[in-house]
Amino acid sequence: MNILTHWLREYLPALEVSDRQLAEDLTLRGIAVEGVHEVAGGHLFEMDITTNRVDAMNHYGVAREAAAIYNIPLRKLDDECAPANVGAGYPVRIEAADLCGRFTAQIVRNVTIAPSTGIIAERFAQLGQKPISNAVDITNYTWLAMGHPTHVFDLDTLEGSIVVRRAREGEKLRLLDGSEKTLTADDLVVADEKKALALAGVMGGWDSRVTDTTKNILVEAAWFDPAAIRRSSRCHGLHTDASHRFERGADFAAAPVANRYVTHKLVELCSGTPDGPMTDVVIPEVEAKTANRPRIALSSPTVQRLLGTTLDGGEISPVLIEQYLEALGCSLHPASEVGCYEVKLPSWRLDLEREIDLIEEVARVYGYNRFADTLPGFSGGVDSLPHRAQEETIRNTLRAMGWNEVIGSTFASEEDAMLFAAQRTAVPMGNPLNAEAGVLRPTLLSGAASMLAANMHRDVRTARIFELGAVFTGDTQQVQEAQSLSMGAYGSPAASAIVSAKDGLFFEVKGTIEALLAQFELKSVEFRADSLPPWIAPGRGARVLVESKELGAFGELDAAYADRLKARETIVLGEMDAAVLLASPLRVPLVREPSRFQAVERDLSFFFADTVTWDQINSAVHNLHIAELTSVEPREIYRDAKGKAVAIGEYSLLLRVVLQARDRTLREEEVAASIERIITALKELGGRQRA
């Protein structure tokens, strides 16, 4: 947003530093000034305010930061308008008490509607704000000044009391931009006894708007639930200055101040006359969660211990701690212990929740650049996590096999998350940064798929990535966190004698998983091709079972999912429950001296039915417990689509068997006996030996 320095200085009469110095000092304190431009009377700051600092998205909020930095007085907003007479004014009824915590209303009669002139017109021109009319411009001027959105209704269009309620399903409302919206029961509206007047916290309605013929006005300033405003804003595709602030958490205590500010300007600039007291309806339960949150305990020794030594050679003094926090709006009440406080939080800083947040504020206002580069004192040893060795083994094994570790976002869009985790419940964020970060990720697969697609679109020829991280399920009342391991790859390896180019990537991932699981003491590992999740292409994946319990699944991404990512190549994804591996003991490597005696190789060629798996063949051979058996490997697999060399429904397998004794050279009759046992075992599986 844009800020005018001469407007800031109205709130800071004792500010002596130059605008350039002010910009630098604000930036160093996290209130970033990205550009400084000369305008009449001063400079215009191009600000980049983070989403959690909605309190600083206005001139008064930035002035408050400057007052804290320079320890100078900040003029009160109340100085600009007389105190309001609060009482039974225009009737207001809040029916959706969980979505509207406060609503103020003030009647102003006999206004004169005209184009804005004077200071409002000048500042709007400098800020690039579009003028509408003096009454409407005053509401926009108010949020530019103090950050709280307000609205003005044409009083003569209202029918009965103001009612803040949920919209009726299918209710129609024409908005100020001329569009007509069909509302749902999730929308919050400001209405009268007959009709909806405005989409609360987002945009006013057409029928109750202020026009050139308006004579009497009802001024509204309220507090609305951030989630409700965000939901309506996203649902109807509306992002306004009001919704931008309400959905990030407005100041509960600012509504009556903003109402008085607008009323004062209507009297001053529109020749209006206040009629009756200002109505102020407050929901105590909401006030307790916002403006009257529980106090936070703060200890000066803890602040000093965590922040360390300053460049001046000392520590942050208790006097400075009090000065900075009180300048930011906190009220410090001494506790029983020396140097400890009970801190009452300001109503406009909903981002402050814990002691460490207050400590960060002290460091921020003091200036991170003013601390010495020293580490806090520490004595004792470092306690490793119980599964540290398992984590290192997972990472080292995959890296050694050519896989790259990635770190994905903890957040995901609900749509992306549910594509890969249809059976899990995603936890919605209370105040997401944007629609693409609306839920905590219930799976790592959505992030892996997006990363692979992004690399593919940038012409990266091959990619092998994995992530070991947390996933979240449940709801906002109870969140379950678990460790998960995802893998993703594209770019097929070359074909071999036993694997075609089409299947190469799948079997590479399968082999990687087998090598990884071989690092753990697991009684049994199985791969099954049934009951695959929907994101795996039919017949192109497998479930991984450890000791008969499902560990995860992997396979080629289904065409519908691949099309959504605009993937040009085959992608293989997999995800496993890392908690099982982290809880499993590692396999202890045994080192044996290599045999000094000659190894003997024999190749066996068999026909097998397609239903016979390699796992069955491998198990049948090893279950013979031949002491001299060193290895058994498939060397060639052949299928004949025409059924000439190999019958349809069968495949030809060339098997290499290696025998080697540790204490002697094997005699021919010993080798022949062992090979005969292997041939017999393979025939029992239904195999036919080729001549």
| Domain match, 546 and 479 both | yes
Establish if 291 belongs to a structural domain: no
Task: Give residues with Cβ within 8 angstroms of 213, minimum separation 6.
Answer: 113
Residues contacting 630, CB < 8 A, separation 6+: 599, 658, 659, 660
Q: Furthest-apart CA pair in the chain: how many Å?
A: 117
Q: Give me the CATH number covering residue 619.
A: 3.30.70.380
Same domain, 262 and 190: yes
The three-class DSSP label of residue 314 is coil
pLDDT at residue number 275: 93
Residue 592 inside a domain? The answer is no
Q: What is the CATH number of the domain that holds 23?
A: 3.30.56.10
| Stretch among 222-226, 385-389, 429-433 having the lowest mean pLDDT | 429-433
Q: 420 falls in which pLDDT band (50, 70, 90)?
A: confident
Q: For residue 576, what pLDDT is reported?
A: 95
For residues 180 and 234, membership in a common domain is answered with: yes
82 lies in a domain? no
Q: What is the mean pLDDT of residues 39-53?
A: 92
Domain that holds residue 647: 600-689
pLDDT in tens, 165-177: 999 999 999 999 9
The conformation of residue 520, written as its DSSP 8-state character, comes to B
**For the ranges 143-152, 310-319, 415-424, 604-613, which has the lowest average pLDDT?**
415-424
**DSSP assignment of 397-424:** HHHHTT-EE----SEE-HHHHHHH-TTS
The confidence score (pLDDT) of residue 682 equals 95
Which residue type, as a one-letter code, is found at position 241? Answer: D
Of the candidates 411, 295, 299, 289, which has an alpha carbon nearest to the alpha carbon of residue 350? Answer: 289
Domain match, 510 and 618 both = no
Residue type, 332: L
> Which of 217, 221, 177, 175 shows the shortest CA–CA distance to 199?
175
Q: List 469's β-bridge partners, or say none.
A: 484
DSSP 8-state secondary structure symbol assigned to residue 519: T
Report, as an integer, the average pLDDT of 372-385: 75
Do residues 195 and 102 both lie within one domain?
A: yes
- What would the 3-class secondary structure string for 181-199 be? EECCCCCEEEECCCCEEEE
Tell whether 112 and 215 lie within a shared domain.
yes
User: Residue type for 446, please?
Assistant: S
Q: Which residue type occupies 257?
A: V
- Assign residue 450 a region: left if phi > 0, alpha if psi is -120 to 50, beta otherwise? alpha
The DSSP output letter for 431 is S
Write down which residue in 263, 286, 309 finishes a domain. 286
Ramachandran class of 311: left when φ > 0, alpha when ψ lies in -120 to 50, beta otherwise = alpha
Last residue of a domain, one of 310, 335, 368: 368
> In this structure, are 476 and 616 located in the same domain?
no
By CB atoms closer than 10 A (0-12, 13-18, 19+), residue 400 is exposed
Examine the domain organization and report whether 226 and 101 are in the same domain: yes
Average pLDDT, the chain: 92
Domain C-terminal end among 516, 551, 582? 582
Question: Which sign does the torsion angle of CA 141, 142, 148, 149 carry?
Answer: negative
Say what the pLDDT of residue 86 is.
80
In a domain, 379, yes or no: no
**Of 127, 18, 117, residue with least CA distance to 66:** 18
The beta-strand segments (E) located in 65-205 are: 92-94, 100-109, 151-154, 162-166, 172-174, 180-182, 188-191, 196-199, 203-204
Q: What is the pTM of this model?
A: 0.64
pLDDT (tens digit per residue) in 473-524: 888 888 899 999 999 999 977 677 677 878 889 999 999 999 999 999 998 8
How far from each other are the two terminal CA atoms of the chain, in whole angstroms? 83
Residue 80 within a domain: no
CB atoms within 10 A of CB 463: 21
Burial class from Cβ neighbours inside 10 Å (0-12, 13-18, 19+) for residue 682 reads buried
pLDDT tens-place string over residues 531-586: 899 999 999 999 999 988 999 999 999 999 999 889 889 999 999 999 999 999 99
For the stretch 332-373, pLDDT in tens is: 999 888 889 999 999 999 999 999 999 999 999 999 999 988
Residues 550 and 508 in one domain: yes
**Angle subtended by helix axes 59-70 and 318-327, to nearest 10:** 170
- Helices 355-366 and 318-327 sit at what angle, rounded to 10 degrees? 100
Calculate Rg over the CA atoms of the chain: 35
CB 205 within 8 A of CB 198: yes
Distance CA 628, CA 396 (A): 32
Task: Sort strands 32-39 and 650-659 into parallel, antiparallel or unpaired.
Answer: unpaired
| Cα distances (angstroms) measured from residue 491 to each of 401, 512, 567 | 15, 15, 12
Residue 164 lies in a domain: yes
CATH number of the domain enclosing 445: 3.30.930.10
Please tell me whether residues 99 and 210 are part of one structural domain: yes
Residue 393 pLDDT > 90, yes or no?
Answer: yes
Q: How many domains does the chain have?
A: 5
pLDDT of 425: 80
Same domain, 475 and 623: no
**pLDDT (tens digit, 9 = 90+) per residue, 145-201?**
999 999 999 999 999 999 999 999 999 999 999 999 999 999 999 999 999 999 999
CB of 114 within 8 A of CB of 132?
Answer: no
Question: For position 641, what pLDDT does the model report?
Answer: 87
76: Cβ contacts below 8 Å, ≥ 6 apart = none
- Which token pair is 65? 């930061």
Domain CATH for 142: 3.50.40.10
Check residue 593 and give its pLDDT: 86
Compute the distance between CA of residue 634 and CA of residue 205 in angstroms, rounded to an integer: 74
pLDDT digits (tens, 9 = 90+) for 639-652: 998 998 999 999 99
Does any domain span residue 594? no
Residue 510 tokens read as 């399968």
**Pure H helices in 458-534:** 501-517
In this structure, the answer to whether residues 446 and 488 fall within a common structural domain is yes
- Answer whether residue 41 is part of any domain: yes
Q: Which helix (H) or strand (E) holds 4?
A: strand 2-4
Confidence class for position 423, pLDDT limits 50, 70, 90: confident
Q: Tell me: the pLDDT tens digits for 585-607? A: 999 888 888 899 999 999 999 99
Q: Residue 378 pLDDT more than 90?
A: no
